[in-house]
């Protein structure tokens, strides 16, 4: 177990992508668990998916902030705007930075590559430069399980080579790790990258399979299950992701000097995943059971008539499977929410958000 060396109470914490799925859940957790902290969030509120979900998340944060011992400040802006990022660092001097802002989605990166370069590369460069010029105790940033690309060896370990991305999205996330490593080496910035595995849960991203399937089933459309149902995904419930992030924030890699008199990069990377990949057909079966149970779909829904098995899509991989032994060793933590429990919570939220009279 690593010793805690970053104390978050009474600190200024900067969270990018604060209206995003993981970002908003992290901010909520920090508001609940910290004392006297100032949490600053930034998000550009783009319309890659339904903005009303981002507004809902922000509204939940605002309600929590009113009762919290912490201060909450939200800035609408883009991390690719260097002047804005520099101003935020100069004005607020954050001690801990959690970079969760990114253009997400594998398939979208095939049709809209430019936005990935802007957000995931230029934006992250701006964050690194700001951390260089305004030293921070810890920079934590989101990478992705997609960096493993078409690796055949499973489960995926952070010791594996990750030089074969199968999408531009994956390439930008691998680039983030390389950029962070170089800045850690050159400027002694303690940084930790987190490879998230298929995050899901209430108020998640509508472009994710479980959410898209639900929308289509409700409309009576047919859902397409890729690789003829032979894909496996390491679905990780959002609360487990947030718990992992919170623990890691408090343990920055130690600064050290090498034999050459230069800094040994204070740099680490972890997987955060459930370590139990689920077959897509089983996943869809559990999803429809929970949607029926929550009253989203009728009891007599003819599921078989709305399901189509199709070939693999470009940019996809057949299996994701996290080796989380390093996370367990260093933090005594392993994601544990079952897929059924997580999808049950999602189905209840979906019913409330979309199908209940406001």
Query: Annotated catalytic sites, by residue?
Result: 169
Burial pattern 39-54, b for ≥16 Cβ within 10 A else e, equals bbbbbbeeebbeeebb
Please work out, in degrees rounded to the nearest 5, the angle formed at the alpha carbon of residue 148 by the alpha carbons of 144 and 149.
105
DSSP 121: I
Q: Return phi, psi of residue 49, to 5°.
A: -140, 175
DSSP 3-state of 258:
coil
Cα separations in angstroms, 222 against 93, 229, 288, 295, 329: 50, 14, 13, 19, 44
For the chain, helix (H) and strand (E) counts, in that order, are 12, 15
Q: How far is CA 102 from CA 18, 78, 98, 119, 323, in A?
A: 11, 10, 12, 6, 24
> 4: phi > 0 → left, psi -120 to 50 → alpha, else beta; which?
beta
Spacing of C-alpha 94 from chain mean position: 21
């Amino acid at each position: 177990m690593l010793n805690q060396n970053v104390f978050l109470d009474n600190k200024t914490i900067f969270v990018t992508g604060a209206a995003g799925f993981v970002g908003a859940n992290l901010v909520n957790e920090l508001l609940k668990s910290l004392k006297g902290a100032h949490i600053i969030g930034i998000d550009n509120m783009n319309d890659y998916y339904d903005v009303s979900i981002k507004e809902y998340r922000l509204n939940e944060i605002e309600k929590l902030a009113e009762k919290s011992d912490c201060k909450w400040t939200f800035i609408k802006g883009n991390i690719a705007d260097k002047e804005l990022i520099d101003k935020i660092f100069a004005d607020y001097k954050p001690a801990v930075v959690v970079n969760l802002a990114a253009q997400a989605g594998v398939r979208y990166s095939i049709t809209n590559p430019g936005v990935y370069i802007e957000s995931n590369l230029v934006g992250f460069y701006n964050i690194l430069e700001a951390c260089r010029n305004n030293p921070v105790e810890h920079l934590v940033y989101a990478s992705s399980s997609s960096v493993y690309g078409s690796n055949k060896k499973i489960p995926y370990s952070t010791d594996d080579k990750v030089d074969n991305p199968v999408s531009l999205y994956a390439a930008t996330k691998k680039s983030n790790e390389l950029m962070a490593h170089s800045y850690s080496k050159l400027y002694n910035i303690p940084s930790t990258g987190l490879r998230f595995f298929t995050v899901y849960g209430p108020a998640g991203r509508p472009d994710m399979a479980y959410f898209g399937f639900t929308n289509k089933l409700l409309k009576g459309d047919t859902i397409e299950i890729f690789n003829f149902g032979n894909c496996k995904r390491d679905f990780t419930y959002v609360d487990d992701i947030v718990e992992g992030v919170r623990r890691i924030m408090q343990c920055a890699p130690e600064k050290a000097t090498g034999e050459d008199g230069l800094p040994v990069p204070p740099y680490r990377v972890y997987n955060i995943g459930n370590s139990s990949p689920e077959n897509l057909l089983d996943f869809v079966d559990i999803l429809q059971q929970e949607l029926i149970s929550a009253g989203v779909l009728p009891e007599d829904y003819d599921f078989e008539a709305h399901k189509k098995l199709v070939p693999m899509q470009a940019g996809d991989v057949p299996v994701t499977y996290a080796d989380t032994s390093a996370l367990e060793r260093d933090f005594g933590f392993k994601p544990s929410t079952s897929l059924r429990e997580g999808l049950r919570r999602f189905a209840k939220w979906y019913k409330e958000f979309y199908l209940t009279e406001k």
